[in-house]
Amino acid sequence: MSVRTLPVTRGGIGESVPRVDAVPKAKGTFLFASDLWAEDMLWGFTVRSPHPHARIRSIDVSGALAHPGVRAVLLAGDVPGRKTYGLEFADQPVLAWDRVRYAGEPVAIGAAEDPETARRAGERIVVDYEVLPAVTDMAQALRADAPRVHDFGNVLRHVHIVHGDPDAPADVWVEGYYETAVQDQAPLGPEAGLAIPAPDGGVDLYVATQWLHVDRQQIAPCLGLPAHKVRLHLAGVGGAFGAREDLSMQIHASLLALRTGRPVKIAYGREESFLGHVHRHPARIWMRHGARRDGTLVCVRARILVDGGAYASSSAAVIGNASTFACGPYEVPNALVDGTAVYTHNPPCGAMRGFGAVQVCFAHEAQMDRLARALGRDPVELRLRNALRTSSVLPTGQVVRGSAPVAAVIRRCAALPLPPEAPPAGRGDPRAYPGGCGNVSRGERLRRGVGFAVGYKNIAYSEGFDDASAARVRLRADAAGPIAEVRSAAAEVGQGIHTILAQIARTELGVERVAILPPDTGVGSAGSTSASRQTMMSGGAVQAACAAVREALFARVRRSLARPRGELRLAGGLVLLDGEPVGPIAAFLDEPVEAERVYHHRPTRPLDARGQGEPHAAFAFAAERAVVEVDEELGLVRVVQIAAAQDVGRALHPQSVQGQIEGGTAQGLGLALMEELQLRDGRIRNASFTDYLIPTIADMPPVVSALVEEPEPGAPYGAKGVGEPATIVATAAIVAALRDATGRELNRVPVRPDDLAGLAPPVAPVAPPPPPPQGSGPEPVPWAHGLATGQHELLQEPAHEGAGEDPRPWERTRGGTGS
Amino acid sequence: MRVRVRVNGAWRTAEVWPGASLLALLRDALGLCGSKNACEQGECGSCSVWLDGELVCACLVLAAQADGREVRTVEGLTTGEDLHPVQRAFVEAGAVQCGFCTPGFVVAVVDLLSRDPDPDEPRIREALSGNLCRCTGYQKILDAVRLAASKLGGSSP
Amino acid sequence: MLRLPPFTYLAPRTLEQAVGQIGEAGPEGMLVAGGTDLYPNMKRRQFEPKVLVGLRGIRDLGRISGTPAQGLAIGACATLAQVASHPAVAEGYRALALAAGAVSTPPLRNMGTLGGNLCLDTRCNYYNQTYHWRKSIGFCMKKDGDICLVAPGSPRCWALSSTDAAPAAIALGARVRLVGAGGERVVSAADLYRDDGMRYLSKAPDEILVDVILPPADGWRSTYWKLRRRGSFDFPILGVAVALRSGPGGVIEDARIVLGAVASRPVVATRAAGLVMGQRLTADLIGRVAQAASEPAKPLDNADLTIGYRKRMARVYVERALRELAGLPYDGAPGGAR
């Protein structure tokens, strides 16, 4: 007698299935935004300011317009709608009209028949500038006599958090000052898109972005068009890491397409890419930690200053994050945190993987090591003693409700095997010594060091933002059987969300064929591919939509059954009643079943004047241990191994989770050792891959990772976002290891060979920490000046999606679904 | 100017302007977009192709220089739905994320394995040190190379 | 988007044709071999030639002939990859094999040539920028402007020699054959360079570097050490080439020490080399030689990392290179555990 095996659905959650887009990407047939082409297409170009601060006296476009093949040149006056845009606050001109506020700011745009003509036309536009004094130092921006970047001043947001008694006495105090440099996301795919004018007077924009709907929210008012006439379609995205949260060429290409009546493509080159997207905020951080003799943390005082550059971008949220995560993943009963984001005439800073948590992690982990030294305690033990857990109270007063396996993450990381000792000098492969593949070292003066870091950050949007994601799922059958079609606007930027959504549909609907339809604005907003949120948010929406489809299908099934009672289930392409097949799913799909659902995460609350509230929805934690070898004479480094343990809730695709940890670690290694966008007088000095150094395969160590799976209550399958934690801790862990190897202070990243060779002293603050600015509350300053827009409006303004579609699909289901 | 290049086995003719690179010829004139344009100055490897059997960056070869010569691109590795064993290994090992660097890496790995069917890790790292990836941290790319090498069993791909 | 300026590309098949074409093009013409340095520079408008004479189609220029015993002739268009992996180069002229193998990346070594690397344009972080960037700060004298932005009072340009091959070639006593309309001449590799960031070659613009002639390698040992931050791609922060010929009992009979990337030309450390003549290499002597060798290195603030660092590393690297050739044990804690 044969044993009956339960039908299973292959390719569901938990399996490392091949990515849905891996084959075309490996074959080179996958089309990225920069590969797009349309019949009769024009090439757009952008003329940018060479000055960090100047008044525009005049712009002469006659030379460009007279050039054969030039079809349009547009200035600020040609913008038919709102003249400014912005992700959170509309403080950034579509094209500068009276003033430029950073070197690289767009001043004019145009379109021509071919790229060469476009280049020449750009050179024929003559802008007469009156150069004005610029403020390019974040501390000086706070001085009363500093040039004002905006009329309302240079304070962008100040966050003040008071928790317990910040004057509480402690047995031991340690104090430090830390700096982090400007890092760039440097996605391999440059900014690009193709705008095609539509017969209805609107525009179809094919673009590489992280959030189609928030792009539209900013584009449409500037074009003077209703939202439904601006249709965005996701083009292939060559990496993002935050660089595509803000607009780059979107409005420009749309304006040119509408003006010329022809498709317009804008594709940035590498230098323009560095000028055309925001960067990671540079930070200056003062910290003081007090503890009892037994290692228990008593108090943390932190002063954080970040340079937001010329326009707000997401600086308000970044300083919110930096301030709320300043104390690290530890129980801190008393705290005083003051975080300020300022405007300067530097290029704008905004989102980058880790979003404010990277900078403070570098500081708080250095402080924990200092404290361990001062107390004579083991640094790992010290972290364990103070580790956050579920029910801990954060400095904002927020109680950690979800999973918080900090101790488990620390223990798992510390237990990962160490790499073997280095071979004696002169015996190893020269390629394995610091400096890599050249003949640069034979292992002389090698010092090995080990460092440890723990960090955390929020998943999804915070501070009261009603974060939501919509998805539509349609189950139908064709000759080959049942197929689930998933329609979501979630941007696949390389992280693998489309594969995750397909896995969820398989698990929920018991079918193996899933089609992920191209993301566009024809479906409700999925929110941003940011904040490690898509697995939870769009995963939750697809799970909920599948559940609705399933229930509708079950109703059909029950109608056809003689005995409709019992538990129905879908698996392996079959409908099961109490575990017994009642027929193939396809048999019940004469008509397709379709449902759309919106997922919301647990509501959050903004911070009050004392920084108290419930700002974050959920947290993800990570720990990394770095083993490094330093040639102490040359100051060159080889990172030997990274051991990583990450709190992932539940790994829906273990291979992709590891991929996020490994890739996130590489970017953290970059900030630790080499990545710095060098600014001098507001100008970027290294806008190329020759001079902006990103790690090569010769620089990356093996990453050994352990996944800590403690499900997050309320999140789909208990899964947490996994994209950011490794980036947050890698920098701190590597620098801790460098300190261990060299005994040097190393309080600025990236650490340079000069620092490691003892040729440069630690950085010292040029001035004492600036006092908190007067008169600003917890709300971002541009908010008070009526500039709030973009994502704030997204969920408040009714969206018209066209005939037959629910105008407010996100209203249909609220409160999420749980698992 | 008119150039004639044998691309993936077939002679192709195109009219290009004198400053056009081989990369522009492939992408804009011949519609072969598998070779990517991430830096246009030889600093990323995304446009790796073979010119007369040598691995080169197409952004630094003039279209004019390629006149009369043999060019092989990522599109020439397979026909139709087939995957080259190296492409298959990239898919299986999880070496593809955003995918922008992937065609260049695939070409560089095929080149490596054709010269050294069983490379050790330092050799792999050295051979791929001209290709930048911003997503993967390279670990799964190394896995893919080892997987491809084992599948190819030392036979030249 | 980086785009090349328009130009006419000529592809001569013989050296004579090439000499004629570059002569005819006059100041508007430039020579190109691998193009890995010239084309990025042209895309940034450091050069805007109207005529390019491509040398890769000249078959004889790619040839490597001879033996270490007799001496070697390497055609200027031999690729860096060929030079790095050629058995005769590795056997007799190791410094050159190491230097060629340390340039940039594998695909660029397949494209770039030995002659091209020897003629590599000098570099400066005020100069290796796009046209728009240079315009935004006011151009420098090396292109489009009339002052030096590194040393504003200076009458000369301080761009850095950044070739890996040149220090090695000089240390090995190489000579280069130059062919022009007026005939051919052979000069020592050291004399190919001038101490001027703008006119950094003594070669006339219409002269073609045809081949690199290496003397017999008997008794010589050599090495090249390159300092850079990443495991690939980067131009040298510092390059040190050392060649030694020892006689019976390990007495040094001849020595050459050459530093790259510390000035506008490769710096030959003659006095330092003199210190080892007739001596046996000891740790103490090496220390003194390294100190002497680093003295002529006077880096300016126009490249990656600080001046102090780059100056200090010159001493460290000369010391390490000499220790390697002396067969002395490596300094420092084996395995490095601490």
The pLDDT value recorded for residue A438 is 62
The pLDDT of A128-153, averaged and rounded, is: 97
Tokens describing residue B99: 């995918």
Q: Is the pLDDT of residue A13 over 80?
A: yes
Q: Which among B78, B92, B97 has CB closest to A494?
A: B97
Percent of chain A with pLDDT over 70: 95
Residues A592 and A677 in one domain: no
Q: Do B139 and A25 touch (CB under 8 A)?
A: no
Quickly name the fold that domain B2-76 has. Ubiquitin-like (UB roll) (3.10.20)
**What is the structure's pLDDT at B156?**
42
Alpha helices in chain B (DSSP H): 22-24, 85-93, 102-115, 121-127, 139-152
Is A28–B33 a contact, with Cβ atoms under 8 angstroms apart? yes
pLDDT above 70 (res A796): no
- A750 preceded by a cis bond (ω within 30 of 0): yes
User: Does the pLDDT at position A108 exceed 50?
Assistant: yes
- CA proximity to A45, closest of A107, A127, A126: A107
Phi, then psi, of B109 in degrees rounded to 5: -75, -40
Name residue C318's amino acid: V
The CATH T-level fold of domain B85-152 is DNA polymerase; domain 1 (1.10.150)
CA A585 to centroid of chain Cα atoms: 39
Strand A99-100 to strand A748-749: parallel, antiparallel, or no bridges (unpaired)? unpaired
Mean pLDDT of A349-372: 98
Q: Which residue has the tokens 């301030």?
A: A323
Q: Are residues A512 and A587 in the same domain?
A: yes
Tell me which residues of chain B, numbers 22 to 61, contact chain C at a CB-CB cutoff of 8 Å: 40-43, 45, 48, 54-57, 60-61
Query: CB distance C98–A268 less than 8 Å?
Result: no
Quote the DSSP letter at residue A614. B
State chain C's mean pLDDT as an integer.
Answer: 94
Interface probe for C, chosen from B36, B57, B60, B123 (most Cβ of C below 10 Å), is B60
Residue C2 sits at the chain A interface (C-beta within 8 Å): yes
d(CA A610, CA A159): 8
3-state secondary structure A721-751: CCCCHHHHHHHHHHHHHHHHHHCCCCCEECC
- When pLDDT is averaged across residues A476-505 and rounded to a whole number, the result is 97
Q: In chain A, what percentage of residues exceed pLDDT 90? A: 89
Please give the pLDDT value at position A113: 98
Q: What is the pLDDT of residues B57-84, one digit of tens each?
A: 999 999 999 999 999 999 999 988 899 9
Cβ of residue A31 closer than 8 Å to a chain B Cβ: yes
Which of C9, C58, C79 would you mutate first to test chain B, the one with the most B CBs within 10 A?
C9
Residue A794 is predicted with a pLDDT of 53
Task: Assess contact for C100 and C114: CB atoms under 8 A.
Answer: yes
Q: Residue A24 gets which letter from DSSP?
A: H
Q: Are residues A752 and A664 in the same domain?
A: yes
Give the pLDDT band of residue C127 (cuts 50, 70, 90): very high
And the tokens for C284?
Answer: 């103490």
Give the mutation candidate from A43, A634, A636, A679 for the C interface (greatest C CB count, under 10 A).
A634
For chain B, the structural domain boundaries read: 2-76, 85-152
**pLDDT tens for residues A658-693?**
999 999 999 999 999 999 999 999 999 999 999 999
Q: Global pTM?
A: 0.96
C7 closest CB neighbour out of B18, B60, B128 = B18
Stated length of chain C: 338
pLDDT tens per residue, range C160-176: 999 999 999 999 999 99
Residue B130, chain C, CB below 8 Å: the answer is yes
Helix (H, G, I), strand (E, B) or coil at B88: helix
Q: What does the alpha-carbon distance between residue A291 and residue A301 come to, in Å, rounded to a whole number?
A: 12
Q: Residue A205 corresponds to which tokens in the numbers above?
A: 């924009």
> Taking CB atoms and an 8 Å cutoff, what residues of chain B touch A667?
134
Q: Which long-range contacts (CB under 8 A, 24 or more apart) does A76-84 make?
A: A78/A255, A78/A259, A79/A222, A79/A251, A79/A255, A80/A222, A80/A223, A80/A224, A80/A255, A81/A220, A81/A221, A81/A222, A81/A223, A81/A224, A81/A225, A82/A221, A82/A222, A82/A224, A83/A222, A84/A222, A84/A787
Structural domain total, chain A: 3
Distance CA(C243)–CA(C220), nearest Å, equals 7
> Which has the closest alpha carbon to B47: B22, B83, B14, B17?
B22
Q: Are residues A440 and A552 in the same domain?
A: no
Single residue among A231, A251, A276 that ends a domain in this structure: A276
Boundary of a domain, candidates A734, A757, A780 = A757
Residues A474 and A562 in one domain: yes
User: Which candidate from B17, B20, B55 shows the least CB-CB separation from C106?
Assistant: B55
Compare all CA atoms of chain B with the CA of A726 and give the residue at the minimum distance. B137
Do A632 and A710 belong to one domain? yes
Please say if the pLDDT value at position C329 is more than 60: yes
Instruction: Render pLDDT for A541-558 as a digit per residue (tens, 0 to 9).
Output: 999 999 999 999 999 999
Q: Which of residues 73-132 of A touch C (CB under 8 A)?
A: 103, 115-116, 119
| Predicted local confidence at residue B154, as pLDDT | 56
- Bridge-based pairing of strands A297-307 and A334-342 is parallel
pLDDT tens readout for residues A25-81? 999 999 999 999 999 999 999 999 999 999 999 999 999 999 999 999 999 999 999
DSSP structure class, residue A605: B
What six digits make up the tokens of C123? 């570099």
Average pLDDT over chain A reads 93
Q: What is the dihedral of CA B9, B13, B17, B19, to 10 degrees?
A: 20
A–C: how many Cβ contacts below 8 A? 157
Which pLDDT tens digit goes with each residue over C68-84? 999 999 999 999 999 99
Domain for residue A548, yes or no? Answer: yes
C306 closest CB neighbour out of A103, A445, A759: A759
Decide if B60 and C232 are in contact by the 8 Å CB cutoff: no
How many distinct helices (H) and strands (E) make up chain C?
Answer: 12, 12
- Give chain A positions within 8 Å (CB) of B39: 270, 688-689
What subunits touch chain A, counting only 3 or more CB pairs under 8 A? B, C
Residue A683 maps to which CATH number? 3.30.365.10
Nearest residue in B to C105, CA atom: B130
Using CA atoms, how far apart are residues A664 and A656, in angstroms rounded to an integer? 12
Is there a single domain that holds both residue A126 and residue A84?
Answer: yes
- Whether chain B has a CB inside 8 Å of the CB on C50: the answer is no
* pLDDT given for residue C338 in this prediction: 29
Judge whether residue C331 has pLDDT over 70: no
- Rounded Cα distance, A86 and C283, in Å: 64
The span from the CA of C256 to the CA of C240, in Å, is 11
Query: Is residue A804 assigned to a domain?
Result: no
Torsional class of C274: left (φ above 0), alpha (ψ -120 to 50), beta (otherwise): alpha
Contact A431 C308 (CB under 8 A): no
How is A693-727 classified by DSSP, letter by letter?
----TTTPPPEEEEEE--PPTTSGGG----SSHHH
B chain contacts of residue A664, beta-carbon cutoff 8 Å: 137
How far from chain centre, in Å, is Cα B119?
A: 18
Q: Specify the pLDDT at position C313.
A: 94
Each residue's pLDDT tens digit, A95-105: 999 999 999 99
3 state SS of C304: coil
**Minimal CA separation from A726 to chain B, in Å:** 11
* Cα of B151 to nearest chain C Cα, Å: 24
A468-478 and A481-488 strand pairing: antiparallel
A638 domain-assigned: yes
Q: How far is it, in rounded angstroms, from Cα C306 to Cα C299? A: 9
A577-592 tens-digit pLDDT = 999 999 999 999 999 9
Q: Is A798 exposed, middle or buried (0-12, 13-18, 19+ CB in 10 A)?
A: exposed
Residue A425 confidence (pLDDT): 73
**Ranges A435-439, A528-532, A689-693, C205-209: which has the least confidence:** A435-439
Task: Among B23, B135, B143, B147, pick the best mutation site for testing chain A contact (most A Cβ within 10 A).
Answer: B135
CB-CB under 8 Å, C231 with B129: yes
DSSP classification of residue B60: G
* Range with lowest mean pLDDT among A272-281, A408-417, A754-763, A768-777: A768-777
Angstrom distance (rounded) from CA C56 to CA C59: 7
Cβ distance B135 to A659 less than 8 Å, yes or no, reads yes
Contacts of C166 (CB under 8 A, 6+ apart): C117, C118, C120, C189, C192, C193, C258, C260, C266
Q: Which residue of B has its CA nearest to C43?
A: B41
Assigned domain for A167 exists: no
**Structural domain contains residue A362:** no
Task: DSSP for A660-686, please give it.
Answer: HHHHHHHHHHHHHHT----EETTEES-
Nearest to A230 by CA among A210, A253, A248, A246: A253
Say if residue A550 is in the same domain as residue A490.
yes
Q: Side by side, which strands form the sheet with C238-246?
A: C220-227, C238-246, C252-260, C267-268
Chain A contacts in chain B segment 108-147 (CB below 8 A) = 122, 124-126, 128-129, 131-142
pLDDT tens digits, one per residue of B1-50 = 899 999 999 999 999 988 899 999 999 999 999 999 999 999 999 999 99
- The answer to whether C1 faces chain B, any CB pair under 8 Å, is yes
How far is it between the farthest Cα atoms of chain B? 46
At residue C169, what is the residue type?
A
- For residues C245-270, give the mean pLDDT: 95
pLDDT tier, A807 (very low <50, low <70, confident <90, very high otherwise): very low
Domain-located, residue A782: no
B37, B41, B103 member nearest A690 (Cβ): B41
Instruction: Show residues of chain C in contact with B43, CB under 8 Å.
Output: 233
**Whether the Cβ atoms of residue A669 and residue A732 lie closer than 8 Å to each other:** no
CATH number of the domain where residue A122 is located: 3.90.1170.50
A539 shares a domain with A412: no
Q: Cβ C35–B60 below 8 Å, yes or no?
A: yes
8 Å CB contact between A668 and A750: no
**Would A115 be classed as within a structural domain?**
yes
On whether both A663 and A521 belong to a single domain, the answer is no
Q: Which residues of A447-481 are buried (b: 16+ CB within 10 A; e: fewer)?
A: bbbbbbbbbbbbbbbbbebbbbbbbbbbbbbeeee
Give the Cα separation of C214 and C212 in Å (integer): 6
C262 and C238 Cβ atoms separated by less than 8 Å: yes
Return the pLDDT at C303: 87
**CA of B96 to nearest chain C CA: how many angstroms apart?**
21
Domain check: are A71 and A207 in the same one? yes
Of the three residues A735, A757, A779, the one that is the final residue of a domain is A757
A253 assigned to some structural domain = yes
Band of residue A812 on the pLDDT scale cut at 50, 70, 90: very low
* Nearest-Cα residue of chain C relative to residue B125: C231
Q: Which of residues 36-95 of B touch A (CB under 8 A)?
A: 36-41, 43-44, 46, 73-75, 77-78, 83, 87-88, 90-92, 94
pLDDT over threshold 50, residue A320: yes
Q: Are residues A83 and A218 in the same domain?
A: yes
The total number of residues shown for chain B amounts to 157
Range of the domain at A638: 387-458+618-757
Q: With both helix axes pointing from N to C terminus, report the angle between A315-324 and A357-375 in degrees, rounded to the nearest 10.
A: 20
Helices (H), A269-328: 270-276, 315-324
Question: Residues C132-144: what's their mean pLDDT?
Answer: 94
Q: How far apart are CA A621 and CA A728, in angstroms?
A: 10
Query: Would you call A237 an interface residue with chain B, using a CB distance cutoff of 8 Å?
Result: yes
Which of A267, A431, A665 lies at the smallest CB-CB distance from B125? A431
Average pLDDT over residues B54-58: 98
How far apart, in Å, are the Cα atoms of A363 and each of A161, A367, A455, A669, B2?
A: 17, 6, 11, 16, 59
In chain C, residues with a C-beta closer than 8 Å to the C-beta of B64 are 9, 11
